[in-house]
Structure 1
Amino acid sequence: MSTTQNKTQPTEASVQAHLDVIDDPVRREDCANLVELMREESGCEPVMWSNIIGFGTYHYRYDSGREGDFMRVGFANRKTALTIYIMSGFDAHPNLMNKLGKYKTGKSCLYVKQLEDIDVDVLRRLVRQSLDAMAEKYGPEQGTI
């Protein structure tokens, strides 16, 4: 079993204080809207994981023995884009991805300049399907860490 701890850990920092210092009013509103969308879909309250706003948790264990806890869904306000963490990835959602709008992806990261660039209803369905996939793989949400 690996004893290496993830760099990204939940903190006691205030989500609202994090949102309040976002200078750009459009970005601040986009982040507030993402908090509400993810709160509604996850049924969990937001928690700061370093500079990421996360919802829910799951415990993973790799074949290598490394294990830990991480958020089920979340997002971060980055300089060039909103980074939305869809932990199930995107391969299982081609129809939704085709309807989403203007974005880029990484392995589990969806990069969006602003919510206006995408269909938020499609994003909501993507978040919901990802949460459902996480529940199937890791079990239901067990509360917060």
Structure 2
Amino acid sequence: MYELKTKENNQSVLEFIENVESPKKREDAYRLLDIFSDVTGYKAKMWGPSMIGFGKYHYKYASGHEGDAPLVGFSPRKAKISLYFAPGESKRDELLKRFGKHTTGKACVYINKVADIDEEVLKELIAASVEFLRELYPSTAE
């Protein structure tokens, strides 16, 4: 059976950020920590070795695969900063048009630095993603 790698753990978020090699990425990680915390109202938790997540929900797919995931999160990776939002959230594409310099994956939005994006649009993306997942998984979103 498939073992999910990205699980909530007790690793220190601040310690993780302090170990980010690039001083600029470290500064951006602290800024994102403030924004995500303020918008969600959740305490940051580490998910796996490198994702900082906020809140959580339990998902179950038609295939039977199920697990827990953060409602939203980010990871200050070496190449780019990954921002994690709900895939399928309908407002996402419209908001991304006003977001600033980024690239996208299925669930991720990648940025080079916080200065490249509109922080107000980031706040809207976070709020829309949390709202979407709370509606999709009402009994498990915390």
TM-score, with structure 2 as normaliser? 0.91
Question: In the alignment, which residue of structure 1 is the partner of 2:39?
Answer: 41
Question: In the alignment, which residue of structure 2 is the partner of 1:23?
Answer: 21
Q: Is contact 1:11-1:47 (8 Å) kept? A: yes
Q: Is contact 2:28-2:114 (8 Å) kept? A: yes
Please give the alpha-carbon distance, in whole angstroms, between the structure 1 residues aligned to 2:87 and 2:41: 18
The Cα of 1:23 is off from its aligned counterpart by: 2.9
Large movers: runs of 4+ above 4 Å: 140-143
Higher deviation after alignment, 27-36 or 81-90: 81-90
Question: In the alignment, which residue of structure 2 is the partner of 1:106?
Answer: 105
Q: Is contact 1:104-1:111 (8 Å) kept? A: yes
What are the ranges of 5 or more consecutive residues in structure 1 without an aligned counterpart? none
Q: Is contact 2:86-2:133 (8 Å) kept? A: yes
Question: In the alignment, which residue of structure 2 is the partner of 1:87?
Answer: 86
Cα deviation, 1:42-61, whole Å, max 9, x if unaligned, reads 11111111210011110001
**Count of residues in correspondence between the two structures:** 141
TM-score, with structure 1 as normaliser? 0.89
Cα deviation, 1:117-138, whole Å, max 9, x if unaligned, reads 1111111111111111111111
Give me the CA root mean square deviation: 1.7
1:95 counterpart SS class: helix
2:70 counterpart SS class: strand
2:82 counterpart SS class: strand
Please give the alpha-carbon distance, in whole angstroms, between the structure 2 residues aligned to 1:101 and 1:53: 22
Q: Is contact 1:88-1:133 (8 Å) kept? A: no
What are the ranges of 5 or more consecutive residues in structure 2 without an aligned counterpart? none
